[in-house]
Structure 1
Amino acid sequence: MSTIDWLLEGDPAIRWQTLRDLADASPGEVAGERARVEHEGWGARLLALEDADGLWAGGACFPRDPAPDDEGQPWTATMHTLQTLQLLGLDPASASAQRAIALVAENGRWEHDGQRYFDGEVEPCINGRTIETGAYFGVDVAPLVERVLGERLADGGWNCEVENGSVVSSFDTTINVLDGLLAFDRATGGSDEVREAIRGGQEYLLERGLFRRRSTGEVADATYLEAAFPYYWQYDVLRALDHFRDAGAAPDARMSEAVEHVRSRQDGDGRWLLDRVPRGAVHFDLEPVGAPSRWNTLRALRVLRWWDSAA
């Protein structure tokens, strides 16, 4: 079985993106497969877990009643579920998406200070993800975009630890804000200021080869070389490379070490393993850790296709 055939045996969320990104299928075929996300597989399972008020697990960032023995952050609340539905490709125009987003806008409140959901919280890593899902699902998040634009640091990126005295950016916060600004730019046409901020944040990552400390050249965090999915707020090089691909950026020589690292992780069957998932309670596992991952394989293959096409 070819790798593409193996991907096409997966969930509708995998199939429609494989058809679009790797198989050059017609727009009609892609749209038809994408429509199944709402009614079948992972997308349907997540939608079925939505509470009557439109939230998941009763909370914005944290569940109302977290498991007492949970290790790590629980990932069952609204923010993480909406991000996952977006990554699955739930059609924003679908009835389920429109219903959920309207209810989240009406009933969602952040645990930090009771702010309305799409008004955002205080941390740019949270606000970047809120911008991304809001823009994707058709919510006006322009005021929140203005806020994060004003929170850029001198090195071009962002960091949630500014309130604790940090004056340099972080990989994790920066990728969350970049994904949000890219979604906003795509949904609204953006502005010169938004596009300049995207370029600045991307340059922050590129100056570090996507995973190294600029000061010493050392690997900034060993987990950045592991491919996780879902990744929630966490950074890794495959996520970063997929961001550059999705942004339509030109391949840059400073990405080459990260690209070759991703390439080196392909197994003899042409697949990539799921290296890890962030610790914490989930609604259900998408894929088992340590096994061949359709998510990582899809993302790695489309990154390599983008990279190699410019060679």
Structure 2
Amino acid sequence: MNKEQLDQMAHGAGFIAALDQSGGSTPGALASYGIPREAYHSDDEMLSLMHAMRARIVTSPCFTGERVIGAILFEDTIDRRFEGVDAADYLWNNKHVVPFVKVDKGLAPEADGARCMNPMPDLDALLAKAVAKGVFGTKMRSFIRLANPVGVQAVVDQQFEIADRILAKGLVPILEPEIDIASPDKQAAEDMLRDALKARLDALAEDKLVMVKLTLPERDNHYASLISHPRVVRVVALSGGYTRDEASERLARNHGMIASFSRALTQGLHVDMSDEAFTSELNSAIEQVYLASID
């Protein structure tokens, strides 16, 4: 584990850019960027277009560790390059941004109001590659729709089971048990999730550190006990479908929580923008999210 990167993640002022769109989310991300589905005819073409979008963001002069302290990449991205440099190396050595990689393979069908992660048969190989490429940590997403204690516990248990394997490789896992912002009992689900996470964190060995990525809560500072937990490097917030304005407003009310936005961060960017206009729009987005992320 890189101690300088750990210190930046634990104490740095700023937020994590979620640039890990994959699978079913990629066409939507490209469409929002101005690239319709008919513009590509294979997964390879789609991934190349998505990488070009990510590269334009990451190589922008306003994208640096001064405000963006970390970035989550898709597996395909860590096999590619930014300006001729391996993606993870470029982030840290050129931008001073800590690199993470998404490791989950999407969501299983819903059971008990929640969706656990699909099996990850190639996880060990991906983790070995991440270590070799200088990646600091990982991210994996589950989804909770209802305040069902069985479903919530199943999600949390799976997250920690996979986290144990990630920790064993010397990487820092970001656990992401997302709660649906449209859940009819969102606040009750948040209560269940906080308590289930706290119980598993309390049981972690002293030398094990994780991060947690959560939906912005209905009650401000609802996750304070997780933010202050000695096993937690940082608690970060996903935008979850909120606009950047709403996500930023909610985040600013939750002290100690920082952003890890995807859609809310790239909102307003378009493939046809001039470099000047693109940089201006991205800089405004970064500044808004940065200000919401610092106490």
TM-based fold match above 0.5: no
Q: Which has the higher contact order (CA 8 A, sep 6+)?
A: 2
Of Structure 1 and Structure 2, the greater helix share is in 1
Of Structure 1 and Structure 2, the greater strand share is in 2
TM-score, normalisation: structure 1? 0.30
